[in-house]
Chains A and B, each alone.
Chain A
Amino acid sequence: MEVLVILVPLALLLGLLGLAGFLWSLKNGQYDDLEGAGWRAIADDEPASGNPPP
């Protein structure tokens, strides 16, 4: 059962990474335009534009 010493922190770390990823995407404005984001993914060539507005 010593493997728990590695597995449990690893599981928690992965969970935290997931949460951090979600909070980052939220802060980055990725949920502001759910409809448009779907279309952008399949657009042929993205027009040159910077980051989304804050």
Chain B
Amino acid sequence: MQATRDFSHYVRHLGSGLSHIDLAVEGVSCAGCMSKIERGLSALPDVTLARVNLTDRRVALEWKEGSLDPARFIDRLAELGYKAYPFEPVRAEAVETEQASFLLRCLGVAAFAAMNIMMLSIPVWSGNVSDMIPEQRDFFHWLSALIALPAAAYAGQPFFKSAWRALRVRRTNMDVPISIGIVLALAMSVMETIHHAEHAYFDAALMLLAFLLAGRYLDQSMRRKTRAVAGNLAALKAESATKFVGVDEISVVPIAAVKAGDIVLLRPGERCAVDGSVIEGRSKIDQSLITGETLPVKAGPGTAVYAGTLNLSGALRVRVAAASEGTLLAEISRLLDNAVQARSRYVQLADRASRLYAPVVHTAALLTMLGWVAFGATWHDAIVTAISVLIITCPCALGLAIPAVQTVVSGAMFRTGVLLNSGDAIERLAEVERVVFDKTGTLTLPELDVTNAADVPREVFELAGRLALASHHPVAAAVARAAGARTPLAGGEEVAGEGVRGFVDGMEVRLGRPSFCGADQIANEILCRDPEASVVAFRHGETRHVFAVRQRLRPDAAGAVAALVKAGIEVEILSGDREPAVRHAARSLDIHEWRAGVTPADKIARIDEWKRRGVKVLMVGDGMNDAPALAAAHVSMSPVSATHLSQATADLVFLGDRLAPVVAAIGFSRKALRLMRQNLWLAAGYNLLAVPLAIAGLATPLVAAAAMSGSSLLVILNALRAHRGAREFG
């Protein structure tokens, strides 16, 4: 049965006879790749557009409908040496792109207006001390108003809307004082202009808007970049299923095109991408990604299988179930819902600052006004001074203080292989006092590895690796990978349920069960020493060798755990696997606190226990059984090999085979939190200097402009220091 590939799910019809598809491409990194791909794809007949986006690592393709099969593009890219997968833009990503371009438009308008008003303001400021006649000054002020009012009405929308939303539900946020400040500043400036006064604050109001929008845009683009990368990773995982489209006809389709009730084929060595139950076939399956249990389970008709299950020996036909039918899955999603609801809403640093900020500033303005009236000033002068206090305290630096640090730090984390899923994760990660690891797939590598490679002669190992390429079995795949085998042995054939065999120089070679190779005795010796390992035997003539294959700890796991302990963070293992396996891992990593055979509910209970004691826990896990615990913990992380559910729940995702990104991320976030606090203090310090000036009535528009840009520059420069992590983490 040869499967056809069906990508029609991803194709968009643009009308006028054109079709469009987006592909995520692996390994595009330079201009050379870009022109190679574009030239290679444009050379295909009927292709009207082939454009690489180097930032998002994607290709957009358009072609005349009819003759061309989208699978052809993938093949062409493979010929060029790039792995590509069709890509479906997530709705959330499209919404964020839309928002980002709106913010950028607002920023453009505000910056344009601020610059032009500044151009008009400078002659006024210098004219006030030289020879400008009042009529000229009024003319310049009216011109400024002409630019400022429409520009502020357009560019201020993000703040006005958000402030209005907050006020409608009787709450306040940072945008409320910002909106009040801007509206009052503009209104007062118009009134002053009508009365031919000396000072107008049009430039300050627009400059404030421009700086704040810059902060918002930075914040937004940081999240957007992460989402694009996460979207690519999901596409590159190539989640597809082999679906029966006829009685004996199969087709490889993307997961999104599989519905409940469909029947899919699960070959040996394949990872199941759907939830369902077996209707035909017998096999052993590895559910370690679901339950944490590493011992394979028997599967036959009626057995429930879940997305993430690895099929080990025989082909299975699986009927796809609706997500809630499976008992284990239903239990996990119930726990997950509870945990998400119970998750106490973390109040971000910026919000805490703004709660303090608004009442203080508004009281200060009110007191200024009353004070001036009490000392005999006119109401008009008192109100003008009070409003100038509001303008000068407007949180220009405050609005940049946190987004600037977050942008720098998320860029630095991105380079070490950590992606942020949620914006406030940095602040929460910085407070972590205890790290709880899952074992299977988190402390250990997601794939199996040969542990006794040193005991086997090199040439035997290589031969076994080449023979192993003929098999789909995960244990054989581990041997092939460890041997670095590239060329399969000619004539290798699979003996169902036993292993593979082939011929070298007329002599038979076999790889498979110990009994298949007559190596039971050696295998038993190995199993006595290491009962957790899987064994695979190799026989070449009369020489027999046995490979021990097991999950291996991540290469730097011990170092990462030691670094955490050294930084004063406690480490614990909570695993669904059996006790001996967990004890072995804990001992080799020197972790004293561990629990084995833990159910998803137990994991939550353990995390809640720490929560009650006031300990901030970072949960690191990959399995479906970890998802509720990930949601319950103060902050959570998943490796990129994790199940969908865990990755979607986790606050951060780390890439690669090493645990170092976990340690580095904590280091970066601690440094970031320190810098955010410093920035807030810098902003507060600036206010302490500027506010007395404003209260005394000395805050001219010139002083306001200088103070605003000076303080903003200061916090941005300070934020740039975040690209290096905290010192205690190296």
A3 within 8 A of B: no
CB distance from A17 to the nearest CB of B (A): 10
- Please determine whether B20 and A53 come into contact, CB atoms closer than 8 angstroms: yes
Q: How long is the Cα–Cα vector from A23 to B108 in the complex, in angstroms?
A: 8
Q: What mask results when residues 1 to 43 of chain A are scored 1 for a CB within 8 Å of chain B, else 0?
A: 1001000100110011011001100100001111110011011
- Please determine whether B30 and A39 come into contact, CB atoms closer than 8 angstroms: yes
CB distance from A16 to the nearest CB of B (A): 8
Q: How long is the Cα–Cα vector from A5 to B143 in the complex, in angstroms?
A: 12
**Residues in B neighbouring A12, C-beta threshold 8 A:** 116, 143, 147
Q: What mask results when residues 27 to 55 of chain B are scored 1 for a CB within 8 Å of chain A, else 0?
A: 00011001100110010000011111111
* A15 touching B112 in the complex, CB below 8 Å, given contacts A1-B136, A36-B54, A47-B39: yes
**Residues in B neighbouring A16, C-beta threshold 8 A:** 112
CB distance from A21 to the nearest CB of B (A): 10
Q: How long is the Cα–Cα vector from A31 to B103 in the complex, in angstroms?
A: 13
**Residues in B neighbouring A22, C-beta threshold 8 A:** 108, 112
Counting chain A CB atoms within 10 Å of each CB, the highest count among B55, B60, B115, B143 belongs to: B55
B9 within 8 A of A: no
- Please determine whether A31 and B104 come into contact, CB atoms closer than 8 angstroms: yes
- Please determine whether A26 and B35 come into contact, CB atoms closer than 8 angstroms: no
* A53 touching B51 in the complex, CB below 8 Å, given contacts A11-B116, A19-B108, A23-B105: yes
- Please determine whether B31 and A42 come into contact, CB atoms closer than 8 angstroms: yes
Counting chain A CB atoms within 10 Å of each CB, the highest count among B42, B49, B54, B56 belongs to: B54
* A52 touching B51 in the complex, CB below 8 Å, given contacts A8-B143, A39-B30: yes
Q: How long is the Cα–Cα vector from A50 to B34 in the complex, in angstroms?
A: 15
- Please determine whether B108 and A11 come into contact, CB atoms closer than 8 angstroms: no
**Residues in A neighbouring B115, C-beta threshold 8 A:** 15
Instruction: Out of A23, A31, A43, A49, name the residue touching B42 (CB < 8 Å).
Output: A49
**Residues in A neighbouring B112, C-beta threshold 8 A:** 15-16, 18-19, 22
Q: How long is the Cα–Cα vector from A53 to B147 in the complex, in angstroms?
A: 33
- List the B residue with the shortest CB-CB distance to A36: B54
B297 within 8 A of A: no
- Please determine whether B31 and A39 come into contact, CB atoms closer than 8 angstroms: yes
- List the B residue with the shortest CB-CB distance to A18: B112
**Residues in B neighbouring A11, C-beta threshold 8 A:** 116, 119
**Residues in B neighbouring A43, C-beta threshold 8 A:** 31, 34-35
Q: How long is the Cα–Cα vector from A11 to B147 in the complex, in angstroms?
A: 12
**Residues in B neighbouring A40, C-beta threshold 8 A:** 31, 34
B101 within 8 A of A: yes
- Please determine whether B55 and A36 come into contact, CB atoms closer than 8 angstroms: yes
Q: How long is the Cα–Cα vector from A33 to B101 in the complex, in angstroms?
A: 13
- Please determine whether A49 and B49 come into contact, CB atoms closer than 8 angstroms: yes
B335 within 8 A of A: no
- Please determine whether A32 and B136 come into contact, CB atoms closer than 8 angstroms: no
- List the A residue with the shortest CB-CB distance to B53: A33
* A32 touching B108 in the complex, CB below 8 Å, given contacts A26-B101, A50-B49, A53-B20: no
B274 within 8 A of A: no
Q: How long is the Cα–Cα vector from A16 to B150 in the complex, in angstroms?
A: 13
- List the B residue with the shortest CB-CB distance to A53: B60
- Please determine whether B54 and A35 come into contact, CB atoms closer than 8 angstroms: yes
Q: How long is the Cα–Cα vector from A24 to B290 in the complex, in angstroms?
A: 50
B581 within 8 A of A: no
Q: How long is the Cα–Cα vector from A4 to B62 in the complex, in angstroms?
A: 53
Q: How long is the Cα–Cα vector from A26 to B147 in the complex, in angstroms?
A: 21
- Please determine whether B56 and A33 come into contact, CB atoms closer than 8 angstroms: yes
**Residues in A neighbouring B48, C-beta threshold 8 A:** 50
* A34 touching B104 in the complex, CB below 8 Å, given contacts A12-B116, A19-B112, A43-B35: no
Q: How long is the Cα–Cα vector from A16 to B119 in the complex, in angstroms?
A: 14
Q: How long is the Cα–Cα vector from A50 to B38 in the complex, in angstroms?
A: 11
B109 within 8 A of A: yes
- List the A residue with the shortest CB-CB distance to B147: A12
Q: How long is the Cα–Cα vector from A40 to B31 in the complex, in angstroms?
A: 7
Instruction: Out of A1, A26, A36, name the residue touching B53 (CB < 8 Å).
Output: A36
Q: How long is the Cα–Cα vector from A43 to B31 in the complex, in angstroms?
A: 8
- Please determine whether B116 and A36 come into contact, CB atoms closer than 8 angstroms: no
- Please determine whether A53 and B49 come into contact, CB atoms closer than 8 angstroms: yes
- Please determine whether A35 and B42 come into contact, CB atoms closer than 8 angstroms: no
Instruction: Out of A31, A32, A49, name the residue touching B38 (CB < 8 Å).
Output: A49
**Residues in A neighbouring B20, C-beta threshold 8 A:** 53
Q: How long is the Cα–Cα vector from A36 to B636 in the complex, in angstroms?
A: 34
**Residues in A neighbouring B60, C-beta threshold 8 A:** 52-53
**Residues in B neighbouring A42, C-beta threshold 8 A:** 31
- Please determine whether B53 and A32 come into contact, CB atoms closer than 8 angstroms: yes
- Please determine whether A49 and B105 come into contact, CB atoms closer than 8 angstroms: no
Q: How long is the Cα–Cα vector from A50 to B136 in the complex, in angstroms?
A: 51
CB distance from A19 to the nearest CB of B (A): 4
Q: What mask results when residues 100 to 122 of chain B are scored 1 for a CB within 8 Å of chain A, else 0?
A: 01001100110010011001000
- Please determine whether A34 and B34 come into contact, CB atoms closer than 8 angstroms: no
**Residues in B neighbouring A39, C-beta threshold 8 A:** 30-31, 34, 54
- Please determine whether A35 and B55 come into contact, CB atoms closer than 8 angstroms: yes
- List the A residue with the shortest CB-CB distance to B36: A47
CB distance from A28 to the nearest CB of B (A): 11
Q: How long is the Cα–Cα vector from A52 to B52 in the complex, in angstroms?
A: 10
Q: How long is the Cα–Cα vector from A32 to B108 in the complex, in angstroms?
A: 16
Name the 4 nearest CB pairs between A and B, nearest first: A36-B54, A39-B31, A19-B112, A33-B53
- Residues of B whose CB lies within 8 Å of any CB of A are 20, 30-31, 34-35, 38-39, 42, 48-56, 60, 62, 101, 104-105, 108-109, 112, 115-116, 119, 136, 139, 143, 147
Inter-chain pairs besides A12-B147, A47-B39, 12 sampled, C-beta below 8 Å: A19-B108, A33-B53, A36-B55, A39-B30, A39-B54, A43-B34, A43-B35, A49-B42, A49-B49, A49-B50, A52-B51, A53-B62
26 contacts between A and B (CB under 8 A): A4-B136, A8-B143, A11-B116, A12-B116, A12-B147, A15-B119, A16-B112, A22-B108, A22-B112, A23-B105, A26-B108, A31-B104, A32-B53, A32-B55, A33-B53, A33-B54, A34-B55, A35-B54, A36-B34, A36-B52, A36-B53, A39-B31, A43-B34, A47-B39, A50-B48, A52-B60
